[in-house]
Structure 1
């Protein structure tokens, strides 16, 4: 804990009582636009609102320090934290309780500290579903392939079912993760099939990337671009860069596309509400995101 205190020294004295301090826990998050959206919405609402990036890469912290960091942030008076890659499932063991959405999904991206309790929520699911409803309102949804079934992927899979996908096929380089997700969702009477070879299924109405592939830190494409064609739709959860290689190639192939920007904005909208108890302006948070981007 002493070394953590040294690395996080600027957070140990967080200022006047009544201020709201939020953290974002993750790796390689220096380009995140969450601080901008949250801070500007807090200012617009007249709150003393502070949003801190806690980048385990920049701080040279190992994954094993996650629990100690959460302990420290709660101790110094943070209201809560957002959680991103690679901690959305690892955070579960450091919480006291889960909201119903997070319990069903098995992943958390928002934690509220309240009277000695740490309650995990998942705003990614609602964020992706809302983005999908607005960005791809008329696309076919019978057969959909999702690549990636980690913390974000679990939320996206649930969201895809909520927006009307009939048959969802999930793939992961770790088959145990995709099989585990499919089993949990089948227990809730959802039609989800884990596959170990993408080429084993001949065609899809849509393809969703729920992996980090395409981020600046993980360049590339999660699927062979030869599988993309006119009439399909392609969604990505990555928002930096705003246009991933997958989205660019999909547009060139004539696909309808949904970049990760909508999910990034709407998950923040719901998280701000949880942190503050106030209804944020999605329009203003969208403008903040677009201006910063």
Structure 2
């Protein structure tokens, strides 16, 4: 059976933490409501914050192998610098609300508490009949806001390192204060797949496909045009780094990867080329030309 979820084999020592709908975390403060996504090093879930009336957040569970993750340090640096750097691009970067640790059958995990984001421009185009036209009409605004976010990051010494169409998304209108059934209803109903055998504590009892935003959400919320104040946000800082702490290699997707990174990989490390903010700028150029504006190319 082909299902679009993380690999079950990654639920092992050092890997993903098993999460189920209805699970509670951080002294029962957060209740899992739905699944938002997954990546090579994390799963992301919609949760209700029980400490505040009808507040909703995204919980990002990082694999145990990345305990004390660099992403938290980067996000904390962004928050700290935002207080002293009055830059409009801060509004276009997903910030860290909180974080905590959990211990599970596969090790110790960092859990990031983040704002809930909407679909990416790619998802909007792929999922909705009017999405292509919407992205085309707002391509300049989308490009400008992502550029502002990237400029802010570079001004405070942060390189994203993984800027592509899957790591930018529309912000959502205010969710807090809405009834839970309304917020959950913005997503398609969860599709679950039972895991066999289901008695292995390192694995979840079932896998869940991340649900796309529902047609009702697209029609009534995002595509309402000027009636809704959305912003583009850059997110996922798992590959990010500070200018004075450059990693030895970085794995930006090939279609937006700067030549320096490609040539450095081909040289097998025998030639170390200088790279920094410009690798993000190259990715941004590819994203604007082939992503947001690709439909204007004959």
TM-score (norm 1): 0.27
TM-score (norm 2): 0.27
Q: Which has the higher contact order (CA 8 A, sep 6+)?
A: 2
Task: Return the structure number with greater helix share.
Answer: 1
